[in-house]
Amino acid sequence: MKTYKLKTFTIGGKINYEKELNPQQLKVVKEADGPSLVLAGAGSGKTRVLIYRLAYLLEKGINPQNILLVTFTNKAAQEMIHRAEALLKLNLSSLWAGTFHHIGNIILRKEAEVLGYTSGFTIIDKEDTKDLIQDCIEELNLSQENLFPKKDIIASVWSLAVNSLKEIEEIIFSFYPYLEEFIPSIKRVLDFYKKKKKRKPFEKTDIEKVIEFIKKEGGRTTQKAIRQHLFLSEAKASLLLTEMEHKGLIQKIKKGRGNIIILKEK
């Protein structure tokens, strides 16, 4: 009978953080436990702080699978991962990293059944979204209504609403006040659109299913990763987090250890 000895999780070598970082950077890297917001000017080393914070967590024994890095672009995420791998001499392929939509796609693929979908869904583009909205307008006999907004406008209202986690009324009052009289009809169209979309793939700009998943208690692997160590880099991500706080979603994400760090430029 063959026997195997499993090695414990280790990294390449001990990092001298005091030597590599200035006092402000060092404070963030070593003390940013719990929800933390880091404001920094251009050229102050935001990326460096994030990479060394990542290294610090790994040196403390945190598994890469329990770390989630959300950035403005997938390219930026990969560059950070490569720099961290070079620093640690460690393969970090199991660490979750990318844009919010990229991470959302991973979540939905892993946990689609929790939301009543299969993992084999495809993603429809903006034009398909507009066409589906147009179908709803016509089936509800609203296309003949005088000055009723076009599919492009309604698609824009929908996209703004789901990406900012705001109600349809809020979006129209803020960006399309001239459509106020059509709010009931627009909501009818979008309610019908959501029902029809249930039989269609998810659209690219729609984060509602990711948010719905986070709010559920059914997510197992995904919620474990999200809840332990969440990094958000760039202003867009931090603005998203602010909106999520209003919906009580941060309380869901923070459940457990609640280690969230946001790096935002002043």
pLDDT digits (tens, 9 = 90+) for 95-107: 888 877 787 777 7
Q: Which of 45-49, 76-80, 186-190, 250-254 has the highest mean pLDDT?
A: 186-190
Token digits for 14?
Answer: 């001990």
d(CA 12, CA 173): 55
Query: Averaged over 20-35, what is the pLDDT?
Result: 86
DSSP assignment letter at 39 = E
Q: Which residues of 237-256 are buried (b: 16+ CB within 10 A; e: fewer)?
A: bbebbeebeeeebbebbbee
For every residue of 234-260, which 3-state class applies, written as one string? CHHHHHHHHHHHHCCHHHHHHCCCCEE
Q: Is the pLDDT of residue 176 over 90?
A: yes
Lowest-pLDDT choice from 3-17, 76-90, 193-207, 235-249: 235-249
pLDDT for the residue numbered 180: 96
Domain ranges, ordered by start, for the chain: 17-114+227-265, 123-200
| CA 194 to the chain's CA centroid | 21
Rg (the chain; Cα; Å): 22
pLDDT digits (tens, 9 = 90+) for 18-27: 999 999 989 9
> Long-range CB contacts (< 8 A, 24+ apart) of 89-92?
89/11, 89/12, 89/13, 90/11, 90/12, 90/58, 92/64
Average pLDDT of the chain, as a whole number: 75
DSSP H or E run through 78: helix 74-88
Q: What is the domain class of 17-114+227-265 according to CATH?
A: alpha beta
Q: Is the pLDDT of residue 141 over 50?
A: yes
Lowest-pLDDT choice from 36-45, 77-86, 193-202, 244-253: 244-253
Beta bridge partners of 67: 229
Q: Please enumerate in sequence order all residues whose Cβ is within 8 A of that of 35, keeping only pairs 6 or more positions apart, or say none.
A: 250, 254, 258, 259, 260
Question: Which alpha helices (DSSP H) does 96-255 contain, by range?
Answer: 100-111, 126-139, 151-164, 168-175, 183-197, 208-215, 221-228, 235-246, 249-254
The model's pTM is 0.63
